[in-house]
Amino acid sequence: MAAGRRGAGLRLCATVFLLDMAFCKGFVEDLDESFKDNRKDDIWLVDFYAPWCGHCKKLEPIWNEVGLEMKNIGSPVKVGKMDATSYSSIASEFGVRGYPTIKLLKGDLAYNYRGPRTKDDIIEFAHRVSGALIRPLPSQQMFEHVQKRHRVFFVYIGGESPLKEKYIDAASELIVYTYFFSASEEVVPEYVTLKEMPAVLVFKDETYFVYDEYEDGDLSSWINRERFQNYLTMDGFLLYELGDTGKLVAIAVIDEKNTSIEHTRLKSIIQEVARDYRDQFHRDFQFGHMDGNDYINTLLMDELKVPTVVVLNTSNQQYFLLDRQIKNAEDMVQFINNILDGTVEAQGGDSILQRLRRIVFDAKSTIVSIFKSSPLMGCFLFGLPLGVISIMCYGIYTADTDGGYIEERYEVSRSESESQEPTEESKEQEPRSGDALVPTVQGPKDVLEKKKD
């Protein structure tokens, strides 16, 4: 009885799950060639996929949830998906080069999504890009609401100016990453001090920073550098994004499951430096921690012991390893200053030798991972081609050997025959040993000539 009830319960759960999936799919439209002409009247969030793509299959249930959520909240954004292999011309027209590719299409503009493939992050991207490029903040209450909702956002304060034009240009490029607002000086909180107007500010980490054209350079580059919080939980995707900022990334590589003092101490030291030395280092450094050393090992092509601290230059693949024991924040600050003044030697880089090492390392890692996950598949993928190549090489080698032997035999026999021919001719020309004693026999013609004489 109990087993029967469990079986019935499992069947019921499976049925509910399938119905739920089918219900979610109803809010994601399958797009075809007519989409190209009909899309401009609406805002579309589209997943370009390939049926055989494993990452696309993982995204499918998340995408269905995105469609359902956008419908429930009354968003004007429509959610769809397109088989990029069946409609390759349309996909290439939108610049699709890999799968899956997520784009928000708004009039003649197409925005690429490059964030984590989670429901909340994708929906946040759709809200941000589908709305106004520069959102006004008309009151202090609205300003406080934005501060509570967003961890990082940018604000232009002032009237019309060349700086505002640059701000709009930067927003049109970087709206896929962060929010842009505008406000008057009266709306800004009292703790904000402005030396001059107009101004561009970034609010993050419970404080703010003011853009200085002389010190910070190009406005778009500054916004791209400052769109991250000062301390982050690092992963491979985030490190890739940080490569565009030009900042050095100081990472405590730890095991979060390990609660020993050494692991927690290094993480606390990095957090302390990021918080207390923000004004000194925020232009040049990004801080954070990473759980485990697997990803770092692939970057460094080496085995790092955990826990440790590594400083990465993601723009040129250089890195700096500890040359001392870090006991407190002051030791870490000294290590960072030595990196900035060139005392600590940089390792790695993107030289030709390093690139060759990278190719060999990646090939080795791929082969090892295949054999670890599926030894039989590894033997088939690598053993079969090697066997075929060996047979071909053996065939070529034996064919050359036989041909050389036959040609050699032919040359030998030919030389022997040529040496025999002159020997026979010489034998015919040489007199035999008894020829000198035997008189020559004269012919009839010679006898008649003698008689006439």
Measured between alpha carbons, how far is residue 244 from residues 38, 41, 222, 225, 337 in Å? 36, 34, 11, 8, 22
Task: Determine how many CB atoms are found less than 10 A away from the CB of residue 83.
Answer: 16
E strands, 314-426, are: 318-321, 347-348
Please state whether 107 falls in left (phi above 0), alpha (psi between -120 and 50) or beta: left
Residue 137, number of CB atoms within 10 A of its CB: 20
* Closest-CA residue to 84 (of 72, 96, 68, 71): 96
- The residues near 276 (Cβ < 8 Å, ≥ 6 apart) are 329
Rounded Cα distance, 197 and 181, in Å: 16
Which residue of the set 13, 53, 379, 393 is catalytic? 53
Structure token pair of residue 348: 């790695």
Residue 91's Cβ-count burial label (10 Å; 0-12, 13-18, 19+) is: buried
13 belongs to the catalytic site: no
| Token pair 């890692």: residue | 365
Burial (CB count within 10 angstroms: exposed 0-12, middle 13-18, buried 19+), residue 393: exposed
Cα-Cα-Cα-Cα dihedral sign, residues 79, 83, 87, 93? positive
For 223, residues 6+ apart whose C-beta sits below 8 A from its C-beta are 154, 170, 174, 178, 200, 202
Catalytic-role residue among 13, 56, 379, 393: 56
Chain centroid offset of residue 24 CA: 31
**Residue 121: C-alpha distances to residues 186, 427, 431 (Å):** 33, 105, 113
Structure tokens, 221: 């580059």
- Residue 95 tokens, joined: 């610049």
Instruction: Give the position of tokens 């939980």.
Output: 233
Task: Tell me the two tokens of residue 52.
Answer: 């055989």
Give residue 158's region: left, alpha or beta (phi > 0; psi -120 to 50). Answer: left
Is 393 catalytic? The answer is no
Interatomic CA distance for residues 410 and 401, integer angstroms: 14
Element (H, E) at 292: none
Catalytic residues: 53, 56
